[in-house]
Amino acid sequence: MPSSNSLPTHHLDPFHKERHRTSTNAIFGYNNLPVQHQIQGFELYSSEGMIPDYGPAKSTFYRVGITLKGTIHMQLGLEHFDIAPLSLTFSIPGQVHSKSNASPDIFGYYILFSPTFLEGLLNHLNMSAEFPFYDYCGSQLLQCNEQEINEIVSFIEKIDGELQSDNTGKVTAIKMYLYLLLLTAKRSYERQLPLNNVSPTTHMVTQFHKLVSQHFLQFRQVSDYARMLNVTPNHLNRVVKNTTNRTASDAIQEMLVQEAKVLLQNTALSISEISYQLDFSEPAAFNHFFRKLTGGTPLGYRSMS
């Protein structure tokens, strides 16, 4: 099976901003920030100048989004979220993600940081254990109260102040403010845990979707995920079908077509090369699969991307 490490991902490099932003005169965070003030492995933006429709894509960094006004739709793996004001969203390196349908009044902030950026405060290998929203098993959408959002925005403003300055120790200060921001989010997450009780069937479907999002390149059979969840394939199929009106196999295929779109958008690989990289027996099988799920051909999708 192909390795996710061989697939294209976006990096925090000088060219990355062009993929998610349009030109704007806004002076905030990294937008129009002089090169001498930039720091490696970290970026901060407001939503002003953000491209409203983006993805599907993959990245090598963590993301935290803060929505203050307006709404936007986000897909992380197989999970769909309608993001409302006073909410936080989180994405994990290597996770397929996209966003769409941003309302005209959308406003907020987003932070991008590399897995090793918080070294010295937190070992990057412990990120998912320290912050449950950066674990595939955790919830990646968090609705906060006004006090929590105000505290988080205060850290955003402090980070921006450091970015615009030449102050001694600015990198360390930014790391500390980011850690405190994530800690505030974690406390909100923990505060809401008693309110997040769901039925056993809904929990199983959520866990199934998270497992597929994490392992679909390696495991393509419903029986693989039934084994991980300690249920029979028939039971898993029945629960997923009754809850989502789609089969478990549909979910696996949806993740695979998202990955195909990432490859078609972000690489110069031929259709044949993509089909073999995704473990199809021949290009014709890949073309048939893509047309069945999207209504169009891989080549047609690439030409419109």
Indicate if 35 and 162 belong to the same structural domain: yes
Indicate if 188 and 207 belong to the same structural domain: no
Interacting residues of 182 by C-beta distance below 8 A, sequence separation 6+: 64, 131
Q: What is the pLDDT confidence band of residue 236, given thresholds at 50, 70 and 90?
A: very high
In angstroms, what CA-CA distances link 273 with 264, 267, 282, 288?
Answer: 11, 11, 10, 15
Cβ neighbours of 116 (radius 10 Å): 14
- Sign of the dihedral defined by the CA atoms of residues 5, 212, 207, 67, in that order: positive
Rounded to a whole number of angstroms, the distance between the first and last alpha carbons of the chain is 26
Indicate if 33 and 162 belong to the same structural domain: yes
Q: Which residue has 């995920």 as its token pair? A: 225
Indicate if 153 and 269 belong to the same structural domain: no
Give the CATH number, domain containing residue 273: 1.10.10.60
Task: Specify if 92 maps to a domain.
Answer: yes
Can you give the pTM of this predicted structure?
0.79
Indicate if 226 and 142 belong to the same structural domain: no
Count how many domains the chain has.
Answer: 2
Give the CATH number, domain containing residue 19: 2.60.120.280
Q: Which of 13-22, 27-36, 63-72 has the highest mean pLDDT?
A: 63-72
Indicate if 177 and 67 belong to the same structural domain: yes
Indicate if 126 and 272 belong to the same structural domain: no
Note the pLDDT of residue 233: 95
Task: Specify if 236 maps to a domain.
Answer: yes
Indicate if 108 and 248 belong to the same structural domain: no
The number of helix segments (H) and strand segments (E) in the chain equals 11, 9
Cα–Cα nearest to 20, from 56, 61, 59, 49: 49
Domain that holds residue 143: 9-192
Kindly state the average pLDDT of the residues 271-293.
93
Final residue before a domain boundary, out of 160, 192, 224? 192
Interacting residues of 51 by C-beta distance below 8 A, sequence separation 6+: 19, 20, 21, 22
DSSP state of 99: E
Final residue before a domain boundary, out of 138, 170, 192? 192
Indicate if 232 and 186 belong to the same structural domain: no
Note the pLDDT of residue 12: 73
Q: Is residue 178's pLDDT more than 90? A: yes
Indicate if 111 and 253 belong to the same structural domain: no
Q: What percentage of the chain carries pLDDT values higher than 90?
A: 70
Note the pLDDT of residue 111: 97
- For the chain, the average pLDDT equals 90
What would you measure as the largest C-alpha separation in the chain, in angstroms?
61
Indicate if 218 and 177 belong to the same structural domain: no
Indicate if 175 and 230 belong to the same structural domain: no
Residue with the larger pLDDT of the pair 210 and 90: 90
Q: What is the pLDDT confidence band of residue 1, given thresholds at 50, 70 and 90?
A: very low
Final residue before a domain boundary, out of 192, 224, 242? 192
Task: Specify if 268 maps to a domain.
Answer: yes
Cβ neighbours of 44 (radius 10 Å): 22
